[in-house]
Amino acid sequence: MTTMLPGADRATAPAAGRTGSLLWTALRQVGTTLLVVGIVVLLWIAALRLWDVSPYVGKTPAEVWTTLFADDDSAELRGEIWALLQQTLTDAAVGFAAGMLTAIVLAGVVVRSKVLEGAVMPVALVLQTVPLIALAPILILLVGRGYGVVAIMSAIVVLFPALVNIVLGLRSVTPQMRDLVLVYGGSPSTVLLRVGFPSALPALFASVRIAVPGALTGALLAEWLATGKGIGYAVVSAAGRSQNARVWALVVVVSLTALVLYLLAQLVETVVLSRFGRPGSAS
């Protein structure tokens, strides 16, 4: 016969409440995403009709569905798109990792030194404002057409928004918290690692949500301008051969992929921040 401790029910109640809240938040985020997709589909159909776009050029959602799932060569096309998508996701992952790691390191440097902030932030801003099309030839000459140029181009797209967000998060530490760590013998580095980065978690995850589609955009540009691989190059190649149905199918697949990745980043943010007693993204 087991004995139930008097406080057991009270102890499990908060955990159950958190689980229910997380589930509700996740369902709300998924529902919002599906609603947005529905609105985009309606606008897509309306735009084609309003502007009287030629059926040869503009494809409806139903025609894209037919291209992907109902035509005689749909299975072969899906196999090709899956292989291209794997390449693009690999390229985006390389750029995402490079951009986020660079942003985290630079943010730690910037909050420690006003001099370094004055050196780093203008360069990051310039990289953000210069078109990648203009930088691409120089980058190709410097690092070739492999993963190096993919990492750099995607990282450039990711870097500045992530850097700004993380710096703001690190600077959200209150003077009282900073002084408390210093009084107990902590160094400025301890303040940064033990207080700064935990305080910056909401800003870090906001950066991740921005960086995920940004890295995908950078990867697509790098594939188009440099590597000649993946969906980025396949879209341009299909457009050049007037394979318009294929172009629309590729664009829809990569757009839905970006949306799913954003949603996953949002869900991870909600789960992780809830464990730190912080609210996740409400959007």
Over the stretch 84-106, which tens digit does the pLDDT of each residue have? 999 999 999 999 999 999 999 99
**Does residue 7 or residue 278 have the better pLDDT?**
278
Q: Closest by alpha carbon to 277, among 28, 27, 18, 20? A: 18
Q: Do the domain assignments include residue 155?
A: yes
Confidence of residue 281 (pLDDT cuts 50, 70, 90): low
Q: Closest by alpha carbon to 170, among 207, 133, 210? A: 207
Q: Do the domain assignments include residue 132?
A: yes
Report pTM. Answer: 0.84
- Can you list the alpha helix ranges (DSSP code H) found in the chain? 8-50, 61-69, 74-110, 114-129, 132-143, 147-170, 175-183, 188-190, 197-199, 201-222, 230-240, 244-275
Q: Do the domain assignments include residue 6?
A: no
Q: Do the domain assignments include residue 226?
A: yes
Q: Do the domain assignments include residue 23?
A: yes
pLDDT at residue 14 above 70? no
Predicted pLDDT at 104: 94
pLDDT tens for residues 48-84? 999 999 999 999 999 999 999 999 999 999 999 999 9
Q: Do the domain assignments include residue 81?
A: yes
CATH number of the domain encompassing residue 91: 1.10.3720.10
Q: Do the domain assignments include residue 14?
A: no
Identify the domain containing residue 165 by its residue range.
19-275
pLDDT at residue 11 above 50? no
CA 235 to chain centre: 21
pLDDT tens for residues 243-269? 999 999 999 999 999 999 999 999 999
Predicted pLDDT at 60: 96
pLDDT at residue 198 above 90? no
Q: Closest by alpha carbon to 86, among 234, 188, 244? A: 234
Q: Do the domain assignments include residue 7?
A: no
Total number of domains constituting the chain: 1
Confidence of residue 12 (pLDDT cuts 50, 70, 90): low
